[in-house]
C-alpha cells in the first residue's frame, strides 16, 4: 500500500504522542527516501509492529526514536525500519 510516491491515511490509536497527536486523529503518511531529521514524526517498525515516533537524533544509518509522552528510553533503530514520514508534521 505504501510505495514510492504513494501516500496513505492512518487513524492514530494511542496516547504516546500526546499532545502532538490525539487518539483518533487522521495522519497522512508518505514513503520517502529523503533523510530523516530530528523532530520529524515517522512511522517505524522496530519490533515488527508499526508505531508512530519522533526522530530524536540521527547518526549515520541509525535513528534514535522516542514517543513524546512515553518515558520509555529511546529506541535505536536502523533508518531502514522507518517506513514513512507523517505529513504535515505536527
Report the distance separating Cα 66 and Cα 56, nearest Å. 6
Please state the pTM of the whole predicted model: 0.88
Q: Share the mean pLDDT of the chain.
A: 89
pLDDT band at 34 (very low <50, low <70, confident <90, very high): confident
Report the distance separating Cα 36 and Cα 68, nearest Å. 17
Question: Considering the chain, what percentage of its residues have pLDDT values greater than 90?
Answer: 69
Report the distance separating Cα 48 and Cα 36, nearest Å. 20
For residue 81, report the phi and psi dihedrals to the nearest 5 degrees.
-85, -5
Q: Looking at residue 58, what is its pLDDT? A: 95
DSSP state of 49: S
pLDDT band at 90 (very low <50, low <70, confident <90, very high): low
Amino acid at each position: 500500500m505504501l510505495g514510492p510516491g504513494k501516500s496513505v491515511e492512518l487513524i492514530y490509536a494511542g496516547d504516546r504522542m500526546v499532545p502532538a497527536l490525539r487518539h483518533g486523529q487522521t495522519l497522512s503518511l508518505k514513503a520517502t527516501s529523503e533523510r530523516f531529521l530530528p523532530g520529524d514524526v515517522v512511522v517505524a517498525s522496530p519490533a515488527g509492529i508499526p508505531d508512530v515516533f519522533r526522530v530524536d537524533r540521527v547518526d549515520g544509518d541509525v535513528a534514535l526514536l522516542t514517543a513524546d509522552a512515553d518515558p520509555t528510553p529511546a529506541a535505536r533503530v536502523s533508518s531502514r525500519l522507518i517506513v514513512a514520514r507523517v505529513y504535515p508534521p505536527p
